[in-house]
Structure 1
Amino acid sequence: MNKLLKYLLATILAVSFINCTDNFEDINTDPNGISNQSLTQMNNHIGGSFTPMFLNVFNVTPAWNYQLQQGLLGDVYSGYMTPPTPFAGNVNNMTYALVDGWNGFPWSDAYGSVMPFVLDIKNAVELGNDPSGDKFVYLANIIKVSAMHRVSDIYGPIRYTKFDDFTTTGEYDSQETAYNAFFNDLGAAIDGLKSFESDSQFVPFDMSSLGGDIAMWRKYANSLRLRLAMRVVNVNPTLAKTQGEKSLSSDAGLLETQDMYINTGFAHPITVISGSWGDVRMGAEMESILEGFGDGREEKYFNPASDPALNGVFKGIRMGIEIEAKGQYGNHSSIGSVIDGETMQWMTAAEVHFLMAEAALRGWSGAGNVKAHYEAGIRTSFSQHSVSGVDAYLLDNTSTPKDFVDAINPINNIAYPSDVKIAYNNTGTNEEQLEQIITQKWIAMFPDGQEAWSEFRRTGYPRIYPVMINNSGGTIDTNIQIRRINFVSNEINTNSTNVNTAISYLNGPDNGGTRLWWDIPGSNF
C-alpha cells in the first residue's frame, strides 16, 4: 500500500506540473506549502513525470485498457494467446475485421501518457538551467523510445521528431525517419549518462528493476539499441550493422544477466483478463511448440485446461476460427503464474542473448559465438522462470513442434509447417539457424506479444497459423497475415492533412495488409 500511495502521489505531482507551468511561480509562494525551491531540490518537479510513463509503455490499469493496447493486438497476432470470447459476433481483430474503437489505444496511451511527460521533463530541465538535470532528459528519452518504437511497429509512421514544437506537433515522420531518431536518442543517452553513473538522484523515481542505477540504465538503452538494430536488418543492413556493432562495442555493456521490468504497484492486467474475465487462453502455436518440445516453461506460462474432458492437458485455441459462444473454448488453458505479482516485463536478459546470437550469425563484430549465445539465452530463460532440466533440453535433437488438433472442431486442425529442433545445428543453413534462434527467442519473450509479433513479421519465425475466417474484405492476405494496424480514427478526424502525408510514407494503402518499412518479404539473408 505504501508503494501504491507513493506512485499516486508522484502522479498527482506530475499532473499538477502539467497544468501549472504557465504560472509556476505564483502557485508555489504559499509560506505554509512546499516552495518551488524545495520541489526543485527534491527533483519532484521532474521526477513525478516519470510515473505515468512507467505505467503506460504497457498500460497496467485498468485491465481493459491493456487488453486494447496489447491484448487484442500483439498478444494474439504473435500466436501467444487467443480469446475464447467471440467479441462482436466473432467479427473482430482475430478474424481480421479490425475494430477502430479498439485499435486506437496504443496511440492514445503513448500520446496521452508518455510523450507529453517527456516534453514536461525536457522543459523543466531547461527552465532550471542546471546541467545535472540533463540525466533526467536522457532517461526520459530512453523510456520514450521504449514506448514509441512499439507504437511505430504497430502503425508505421508516427509523430515523433516534431512533437515538441506546437506548430509542428501534428506532423508525422516516416518509420525510417523515426527509427533513425530512435538511434540518435539512444546513442545520446548512452553517451550522456556515462558521467552520471555515480548519481543517485533518479533512485526515488525509478519504478524499474534497475533501481535508479544509471549504469544499468545505460545497459538497458544499449540493449534496446541492439533490438532496434536487428529490427531494421532486412531493409537497411548497413544501418543495422552500424548500430548493432555500436551496442556490441559500447562500454555501457548489455543486459546479459538482469531482466528489465517495472514494479507497477498493480496486479498484472492479464491476471484480470485471463483469470477474472476468462477472455484469453493459450494460443495454438504455444501448444504446438511447447508441447512438441516438452518444454518445462509451459507449466509457468499456462495452466492445464479446466475442462474435465481434456484430462488436465495444456490446450490452446487457434486464432481466427468460428466461435459461437465463450463456453466452447473457455475451459482451455488460462495464463499461468508467469503473470503473478506486480511487475511488467520490458526486456529479458534471455532476449539479449538471442539478439547476440543472431548478430554473431550475421557476422557482426563483437557478437561472440552463435551457439554459445543461443544456449545462454535458453539457460537464462529457464533460470528466469525457475525451471529445471535445461541441460537435457539443450541436447534434444529429435523433438519438433507438434501438429495442432482442435479439441472441439477438427476443421481447425493443422500441421505445424516446420521440423525446427532444439539442439543447435551449426551446420544448418543461415535460415535454419535463424529459425532456431527466433523460435527460442519467441518462447523466452512471453508474454510480450507485441515484440513477438514484430519479430514474426520481420523474420517469418516461428511459424504462425493462418486464420480460418478472414473478414478483412480482401485487404489482408490470409497466408501473408496481418502486417500493421491502420491509422486511428481520431487522428483521421482531427489531423487529416498530416495523416494523408503519413499514408504516403507507407508501402501501400492504410490497412492491415500493408507491410511496414522494415518488413521486407523473402529471405532473411
Structure 2
Amino acid sequence: MTADLRKYKNLISVLVFSGLGLFNSCIDDFADLNSNPSTITKPNIRFLFTQCETAFQPGDYSQWFYGFDYMSNWVQATVPGGGNSNKLNVITQTGCGYQVNELLRYANEIKYQVSLLGEAEKAKHEYIPYLCNPMLVYLSMEDADMYGSRQYSEAEMARYGGTLKPKYDTQPELFDLWLKQLDETIQYLTEKKPVDILGTQDFVYKGNLAKWAKFANSLKLRIAARLINIDKERAIKIVNDASKSPAGFLETLEDDFVYNKGKRDNNWNNDISVAAGSRQLINFMINNRDPRLFYIFQKNDYNSNVVQGFFDQKRALPSYVEKNVEYTLDANGKKVFKNWKEPGEPWVRYYGLPCQVELNKNPAYDEYFDPNNSIFCLFANDGAKKTYTPIAYRNAESIKGLLTYTYPDVPGVKPVQDKEPYGWYGLYFSAGETNLLRAEFKLLGATLPKTAQEYLSAGVELSVRGYNNVAGLNHLPYYDITYVNDKHDKSIKLTEAQVQDMLTHDVYKLTGSQDENLEKVYIQQYIHYLMAPMDLFVTSRRSGIPMSGSTLLPYEQFDPVLGDKYLIPRRFPVSAPNQSDILYDITIAAYEAQNYTYSGEAFNTPSTLNSQRVWYDKGPDFGKGPKK
C-alpha cells in the first residue's frame, strides 16, 4: 500500500456512523438528545472523537497476522510452534503500515467541524483536536519504524481543499512534526486548562485532560529513544526538556493508557496462530521470577492430572517437564505424582523452544517439536488420541478477547471451559515504560531527578503491575480461578510476595559497568514490549539486545555452524505501485530518496532489507549489544 487514495473511505457514511456513538460503555442515548438519528446531518464532535479513539489500533489483526510474528521471531522473543525454518528471514508481505490513515480522517474532520462552530461553542470544543495529536504521533511513528518516509502532513486532506497527491514526509521531517504536535497539545492543555465535555465518550481517560497531557509528554521519550543512535545530543535534550514540562510523565498505574472499546469488544473477529516463547527468554523470566511470564505466555497443558496420565499409560514425559516433577512409586512400580519441585506452580508450566533453524528435523529435539505427533499425546479407551503441548505459547487472550479456553485433562474427563464473554483490554502505553526509558537516558547522561536504579526498579515493578492489571481485566485463564480438577494448580494473579521476590534478583540491580547496566535496562524494555512487537523490534534493533555471549539473556546464532548466514531484515519491503496510480511518481521518488530497492528480484531479499535501513536506524547489528 502506497496511497491514501487507495484506502480512502466515503467520509459521509463514516461520519453518519460516528454520529451514532455505538459503544456499549460510552453511549449518549439519542432519546436524551430528543433527535431522530436518521435525520442527523451534522456530526456530533464528541461522538467523532469516540470514533477517532476507535480508529486508534496499534495492534490489529493484519499486523499480528502478517508482521508481528516475523518481528518477534527475528529478535528471538518467540519461535514458531514447528520451529524456525531456513526461511525465517524471508518476508514477502506485511499488513503493517498506514495504520494512521483512518485516524487522520477523523482527526481532520474533528478539526474541520470545530472550525465551523460559533465562538462560544468553539471555545468549548477546540481542545478536542489536540487530544488527537498524541494518538496520531503514536501510530505514525510505528508506520515509519519499518518503512521510513510516510504520507502524513498532507494526508487525508482532499475533503478540505487539500491535495489528492500528498507528499511523503521524510523521517527527519516526521520527527520535527511529531514533536511540534506534542508540544502544541501539552501547551494547550497545561496553559488553557480547558473544561472537559467528553466524559465517557473518551473511553481511554474518561475526560481526564491531565492524563492526556502526560501521555503526550511521555511520547517524547519514545521519539528520543529512536533518535539515540543518530543524534544522541538531541535525544537527551528532548528528554531533559520533557522532564521539565508541567505536564509530567505517566507515573502511576492509574496513568496507564489502557484501551477497551466496550464490554463485548474482542479486538477483532479473526483468529491467529501464536508463536511460542523462546527457550532462553522463558528461562530468563523463570530464573529471575518475573511474573510478566504469566500474562504474556500461556500455561502449558501438562498439569498434574496430565502428568499422572502419562505415568498411568507409561508414556515418557519431556525431560524438561519431568525434572520438575516429584513422584513416588507404588507397589507395582508405577510413578505417582506427588508434587511439583521448586519453584512450583505456576512457574513449572512454562517452557520455551530453541531458536536454531531446522531443529524439528533433528531427532535430538523431538521432545520439543514432536514432528510425528507421537510424543505429546495420551489415548482414550477407544484408542482416540488426545494431544497436549508442553510448550508455553503467547497468551492469545492477552491479544484478543472473547476466546474459549479448555482446561487440559486426561482423556475421558468432561472438558471444563472458560467461556465468559469479556471484552478485550490492551496496555498500549504505561508508567512502566516511561520509567524504563528514563533509566536508559539517565545512564546515557540525561539530567533527570532520580537515579537510574530508581527508574529501573519503578519501571520493572510498574510494568509487572500494569500487565497484571490488564490480565485481570481480560480475565485470563487461571487468573480468577484455578482449574477445579487439579488440586496442585495455582493462580497467575500477582501477589506482593512475587513482586518483592523478583526485585531481589541481581538482574534488576545496576551494580556493574555502564555497558552491563545498559544491558540490564534494555532487557527490561525488551520484556516490557513483548506484547507490542513493533516496539520490541525497534528496541532490539537500536540496542543490539539480546546480545551474543551475554550471561543474562544471550542471543543465539540461528545456525551455529554457518554463523551470520541468516541476515535479519531491518525494515519491511516496499513495492512499486501500478503505473496508473496517481501517486506513482511521488511514491517512487520517496523510495529512491531513501535508496530503497522496490522492484525486481532483490526488493524483498534479507540482504536488501538488512542493508537499506530507515533513516534513524544506525544501531548495532542484531545480537551485538549497545552501540559504543
TM-score range, shorter chain: 0.7 to 0.9
Once the two structures are TM-superposed, the CA of residue 82 in structure 1 deviates from its matched residue by 3.0
Q: Secondary structure of 1:122's match?
A: helix
- The 5-angstrom pairing of residues 210-225 of structure 1 reads 210-225=205-220
Instruction: Decide whether aligned partners of structure 1 residues 15 and 317 sit closer, same or farther in structure 2, where only a CA change above 3 A counts.
Output: farther
Match of 2:614 among 506, 510, 516: 516
Give me the whole-angstrom Cα distance separating, in 2, the residues matched to 1:367 and 1:488. 47
How far apart are 1:44 and its partner, in Å?
4.1
Amino acid of the residue matched to residue 354 of structure 1? L
Residue correspondence of structure 1 range 260-275 to structure 2 within 5 A? 260-265=257-262, 266-267=265-266, 272-273=271-272
Equivalent residues in 2 for 1:300-339 (5 A)? 300-306=295-301, 309-310=317-318, 311=321, 313-318=349-354, 321-322=357-358, 328=371, 331=389, 332-336=391-395, 338=398
User: Cα distance 1:248–1:479, how it changes in 2: closer, same or farther (>3 A)?
Assistant: farther
Aligned residue number for residue 502 of structure 2: 393
Alpha carbons of 1:468 and 1:394: their partners in 2 closer, same or farther (altered >3 Å)? same
Name the counterpart of 1:16. Answer: 16
Once the two structures are overlaid, the 10-residue window that deviates more, 329-338 or 173-182, is 329-338
* Structure 2 Cα separation of the partners of residues 479 and 486 of structure 1: 17
Output one character per residue of 1:304-331: Cα deviation in whole Å (capped at 9) or x when no partner. Answer: 3336633364222345733689974992
Looking at both structures, which has the greater relative contact order when contacts are Cα pairs under 8 Å and sequence separation is at least 6? 1
Gaps of 5+ in 1: 1-10, 20-29, 398-420, 470-476
Cα shift at 1:298: 1.9
Partner of residue 438, structure 1? 522
* C-alpha distance in structure 1 between counterparts of 2:269 and 2:370, whole Å: 19
Instruction: State the alpha-carbon separation in 2 of the partners of residues 181 and 301 from structure 1.
Output: 34
Change (3 A) 1:230 1:32: closer
Of 158, 161, 180, the match for 2:153? 161
Letter matched to residue 247 of structure 2: A
Aligned counterpart in structure 1 of residue 587 of structure 2, from 495, 499, 506? 499
Q: Is residue 2:306 matched to residue 1:203?
A: no
| Residues 456 and 508, structure 2, Cα contact 8 Å, conserved in 1 | no
8 A contact 1:262–1:343 mirrored in 2: yes
Structure 2 CA distance for aligned equivalents of residues 444 and 86 of structure 1? 24
- For residues 595 and 288 of structure 2, the distance between their equivalents in structure 1, rounded to whole angstroms, comes to 38
Alignment partners' CA distance in 1, 2:515 and 2:245: 28
Counterpart residue type for residue 317 of structure 1: L
TM-score (normalised: structure 1): 0.76
1:229–1:243 contact (8 Å) kept in structure 2: yes
Q: Which residue of 1 aligns with 2:326?
A: none
Shifted more, 149-158 versus 429-438: the winner is 429-438
Change (3 A) 1:248 1:505: farther
Q: Which runs of 4+ in 1 moved over 6 A?
A: 324-327
Structure 1 counterpart SS, 2:242: helix
Q: Is the 8 A contact 2:77 2:277 kept in 1?
A: yes
1:231 aligns with 2:226: yes
1:118 to 89, 96, 107: 107
- For the Cα contact (< 8 Å) 1:49–1:118, is it kept in 2? no
TM-score normalised to the size of structure 2? 0.64
CA contact (8 A) 2:75 2:546 kept: no
Which of the residues 141, 152, 157 maps onto 2:144? 152
Shift of 1:444: 2.4
- 1:228 to 1:285, Cα distance in 2 relative to 1, 3 A: farther
Task: Check whether the contact 2:186–2:216 (CA below 8 A) recurs between aligned residues.
Answer: yes
Residue 591 of structure 2 aligns with an amino acid whose one-letter code is: I
When residues 52 and 378 of structure 1 are mapped into structure 2, their CA distance, relative to the original with a 3 A threshold, is: closer
Query: Which one is further off, 191-200 or 318-327?
Result: 318-327
Structure 2: gaps spanning 5 or more residues = 1-10, 20-33, 308-316, 322-347, 374-387, 402-422, 469-493, 548-554, 598-602, 621-625
Q: CA distance change for structure 1 residues 218 and 480 in 2, over 3 Å: closer, same or farther?
A: farther
Which residue identity is paired with 1:335?
R
Q: How many residues were matched structurally?
A: 455
Deviations along 1:437-477, one digit per CA (max 9) or x if unpaired, are 110122223311111110111111233445449xxxxxxx7
Structure 1 match to 2:312: none
The amino acid across from 2:257 in the alignment is M
CA RMSD, Structure 1 to Structure 2 (Å): 3.6
Relative distance call for 1:299 and 1:49 in structure 2 (3 A) is: closer
> Partners in 2 of 1:238 and 1:290 — Cα distance?
34
State the one-letter code of the partner of 1:516. Answer: V
Counterpart of 1:484 (choices 562, 571, 585) is 571
Give the Å deviation of 1:140.
1.1
Contact 1:162 1:171 in 2 (8 A): yes
CA–CA separation in structure 2 for the residues paired with 1:207 and 1:492: 43
Shift in Å, 1:370 = 0.7
By how many angstroms is 1:392 displaced? 3.6
* Corresponding position of 1:107: 97
The residue that corresponds to 1:98 in the other structure is 91
CA distance in 2, matches of 1:177, 1:77: 29
| C-alpha contact 1:14 1:49 (8 A) present in aligned 2 | no
The structure in which a higher percent of residues are helix is 1
Q: CA deviation at 1:98?
A: 0.9
Greater mean deviation of Cα atoms: 156-165 or 166-175: 166-175
Matched AA of 1:500: I
Q: Could you say which residue in structure 1 is the equivalent of 2:133? A: 141
What is the CA distance between 1:300 and its match in structure 2?
A: 3.0
- Which among 236, 239, 244 is matched to residue 241 of structure 1? 236
Matched, 1:178 2:174: yes
Residue type at the aligned position of 2:394: I
Q: Once the two structures are aligned, what percentage of the paired residues are identical?
A: 19
- Aligned equivalents of 2:445, 2:269: Cα separation in 1: 39
Instruction: Quickly say closer, same or farther: Cα 1:520–1:347, change in 2 above 3 A.
Output: same
- Give the whole-Å Cα distance in 2 for the aligned partners of 1:13 and 1:213: 30
Contact 2:50 2:202 (8 Å CA) reproduced: no
**Corresponding residue number in structure 2 for 1:412:** none
Retained in 1: the 8 A contact 2:541–2:570? Answer: yes
Distance 1:73 1:178 in 2: 26
Name 1:454's counterpart in structure 2. Answer: 538
CA, structure 1 residues 429+33, in 2 after alignment: closer, same or farther (shift >3 Å)? closer
Distance change in 2, residues 1:51/1:378 (3 Å): closer
Q: Specify the SS of the correspondent of 1:345.
A: strand
Are 1:80 and 1:447, in contact at CA under 8 Å, matched by a contact in 2? no
**How far apart are 1:262 and its partner, in Å?**
0.6
Task: Please tell me whether the aligned partners of residues 74 and 451 of structure 1 are also in contact (alpha carbons under 8 angstroms).
Answer: no
